[in-house]
Structure 1
Amino acid sequence: MVSKLDLYRIFCVVGRNESFSGAAKELFMTQPAISQSIMQLEKELDTRLFNRTPKGVTPTNEGSLLLEYVNSAINLIEIGEEKIAEFKNLTIGELRIGVGDTISKYFLLPQLEAFRNRYPSLKLKIENGTTDTLISLLKSGEVDIVVCNLPVDDDALNVRSCMDIHDTFVYGDKYRKLLARPIGFQELVKLPLIFLEPSSNSRKYVEDFLLSKGVKISPEFELGSHDLVVEFARINMGIACVTREFTEDYLESGMLQEVQLKEQIPHRSIGVCSLKSVPLSPASTRFLELLVPE
């Protein structure tokens, strides 16, 4: 007898393949058995989950909604099963980390190297994206922890700070004379500004702070990566909002100069987020100890 959980597993595979025959091939079952399982689930829920067409199947509105929840639930179940195996001295298992490109390059790489040297048998999976995207992956069970720009305000998460960072503005040679003296925010925003795209947590933090001072920004350029922002400043495209700690090579070499602000932007942090409702795996716990030592 097929259990309810088995029906949901079949349901997810059909939804992913949008085909009974594709699901049958993936699950090593017959197509009639797949069709019968979906019909049984539809009968139990008293709801049609798929529209049948000559080319395959597509989820109904109800089916799409259910797929979202069932995929998350099955992902979490699979994670639970994997976490049991990880108790064998971390000799097997996987650590899945969500992290932004910039933090990965400037903060996380040395930590990953040290962790891999200590636990060479563990598989590492890295997912990149914006903070909002990574938090969604965490909640759906697709990553174990997220390393991201703080603040993150979410009651479902444990948030631990790892490192303080500072937002600042930098410029190239073209603006050297103009910015030879301290300036205020009102004067700063009259210059051509280079910012990260609006979805970035770093951008939101600085933008919210400036708004609290009655200053609204209208950037000349909105870019997808910190490295691009820095390079645009280097070739004199404008004044760039950057993270000081991630721009030290440019500042120390003299390729960029830091704007002397009359008022400093309050520091923020890089942190690690995990779900309160899901215990950390041994691998996640060890990695967290590396990032946030006692």
Structure 2
Amino acid sequence: MKTFVAIVRNRHFGRTAQEMNMTQPAISSRIAALENELGYRLINRNERDFSLTPEGERALQSFESILGELDKLDAGLSGLDAPVLVPLRIGAIDSVSSTWMPHFIDALHQRFAGLKIELTVDGTEPLLRGLRKGRFDIVFAIQPLIGEGFRSFRSCTLQMVWAGSPKLIEADRIYSVASLADMPIISFPKDSPPYQMIAPYFHDEQVLASKLTSCNSLYAIINLLVDGFGIGAIPTVTIMRELKGGLLCPVKVSKRFPPMPIIATYQSSTHQDLVRIAVEQANQSAALFCEQVEPGMAWIG
């Protein structure tokens, strides 16, 4: 049962073998024996993407319930709290890791003593690929992952602002889209979700922004902006320190940049209790953060 639950969580036989310190043939043999015992196929093996049969879905619910009760029994006999035996694997973009992610992780640690959390900070596309392949339990990105076994919700929305060094920006000037396009712009890599927000901003006005420098790190972009290499559209909450310290200043524009949604997507099929609690805590942490920042910079929904 533990082997089956681990395979569903990892969505991959090889990674399950590595996690359980076993060979892949041994893992396959266990699943084959389990299917033979039950008399039903549990995993679809002829599809490119990992999926369970209807019987596999029912077996997963039963196995997790049984294993959970065994953990509670063991903990009760020993007088200890039931341990969380698997790490919670979280993926997040920079804009989340630098804002309400610390509160989220601290709250989870307070609720689950000994909980191991594996946090990966990356771009939206790598995070969604990793979630699809079973490398994450929940990710916070700009876009959702659509597919069987995944659920998504909007965690919060972040205000976006054009910003640059005071060496480049005229504080009292209102910049048109065309005037912004004439300036050097620091953006995220082409075809990435953040870039897909920037491109229409200019294209809708039939303006071409030709002086583009791409970078896949929010922190590096902020440093480039501070050093005066260009302007960029980034979440306001991520540069509050630089704005207050005068290292960056907001650009007054004739056309506002659209806000950035933060979408949470999680595996809905395994470790339902832990993931469910993590989802609830993510909502609470995001809501608390939005209440603490200045109005209009971040909001729920």
Task: Name the TM tier (shorter chain).
Answer: 0.5 to 0.7
Residue type of the alignment partner of 1:221: T
CA distance in 2, matches of 1:227, 1:141: 27
Distance 1:285 1:12, change over 3 A: closer
CA distance in 2, matches of 1:209, 1:148: 20
Q: Give the aligned partner of residue 97 of structure 2.
A: 104
Q: Give the aligned partner of residue 280 of structure 2.
A: 289
Q: Does 1:27 align with 2:23?
A: yes
CA distance in 2, matches of 1:193, 1:147: 26
Q: Does 1:237 align with 2:229?
A: yes
Q: Deviations over 1:250-279 (max 9, x none)?
A: 111111000001121222321211246x36
1:137 to 130, 136, 142: 130
Please list every run of 5 or more consecutive structure 1 residues that lacks an aligned counterpart in the other structure: 1-10, 18-24, 38-65
Number of residue pairs matched?
238
Q: Give the aligned partner of residue 125 of structure 1.
A: 118
Deviation at 1:195, TM superposition (A): 1.0
The answer (yes or no) to whether the contact 1:98–1:147 under 8 Å persists in 2 is: yes
Look up the SS of the partner of 1:180 in the other structure.
Answer: coil
The answer (yes or no) to whether the contact 2:144–2:264 under 8 Å persists in 1 is: no
Identity over aligned pairs, percent: 17
Q: Give the aligned partner of residue 258 of structure 1.
A: 250
Residue type of the alignment partner of 2:273: P
Please list every run of 5 or more consecutive structure 2 residues that lacks an aligned counterpart in the other structure: 1-11, 30-44, 73-80, 288-301
Deviation at 1:181, TM superposition (A): 0.9
Distance 1:228 1:68, change over 3 A: farther
Distance 1:121 1:84, change over 3 A: farther
Q: Give the aligned partner of residue 167 of structure 2.
A: 174
CA distance in 1, matches of 2:175, 2:275: 45
Q: Deviations over 1:57-107 (max 9, x none)?
A: xxxxxxxxx89958x469x99x98678645647622332112123422323
The answer (yes or no) to whether the contact 1:162–1:270 under 8 Å persists in 2 is: yes
Distance 1:28 1:108, change over 3 A: closer
TM-score by length of 2: 0.66
Look up the SS of the partner of 1:249 in the other structure.
Answer: helix
Q: Deviations over 1:151-199 (max 9, x none)?
A: 437365422112210222111121233x531111111011111112225
Largest Rg, 1 or 2: 1
The answer (yes or no) to whether the contact 2:123–2:216 under 8 Å persists in 1 is: no
- Point out the more displaced range, 226-235 or 129-138: 129-138
Deviation at 1:235, TM superposition (A): 1.0
Look up the SS of the partner of 2:242 in the other structure.
Answer: helix
